[in-house]
Amino acid sequence: MSGGPLVAIVMGSKSDADKVRPAGEILSRLGLGYVQETISAHRQPEKLRRFVREAQEKGVEVFIAAAGKAAALPGVIASLTTLPVIGLPISTPDLGGLDSLLSMVQMPKGVPVATVALDGAENAGLLAASILALKYPEIAEAFGEYRRSLAEG
């Protein structure tokens, strides 16, 4: 595996932190390093561009992008990289999160964003692990052990 974190978790607002936390927890449980940042796609586009570039240079291979409302963050990250981007729609009081979800799943052709359920942070982390498991046998083993533990209850 690379020396640095393989996953970058980016959230659009600090207020998303509690709903994003399970992604980092499951990554840690599986032994995966990650970096986490709060960057607004709308308010800090240059900071986001720089972060994506630098994360790739440091060995990040998968991005998890959490956002609510207009939820542009995953799509903007996907426009800046060819690496996998997992959208994590955050529920909001406005439209219950439907706006967040639709912003992620309705990406234009050529700019894919894999999207998990509303507030589905744990599944976002697991999806990142399953992607990385294709390349890293130790992640595949940890992910397999986790899945077996679910079956055993």
What contacts 74, CB < 8 A, 6 or more positions away?
63, 65, 67, 85, 86, 87, 88, 104, 113, 115
Per-residue pLDDT, 1: 62
Query: Could you report the per-residue pLDDT of 28-77, keeping only the tens digit for each?
Result: 999 999 999 999 999 999 999 999 999 999 999 999 999 998 899 999 99
| pTM (predicted TM-score) | 0.96
Task: Identify the structural domains of the chain with CATH numbers, from first to last.
Answer: 7-152 (3.40.50.1970)
Phi–psi pair at 6, nearest 5 degrees: -95, -15
DSSP state at residue 41 = T
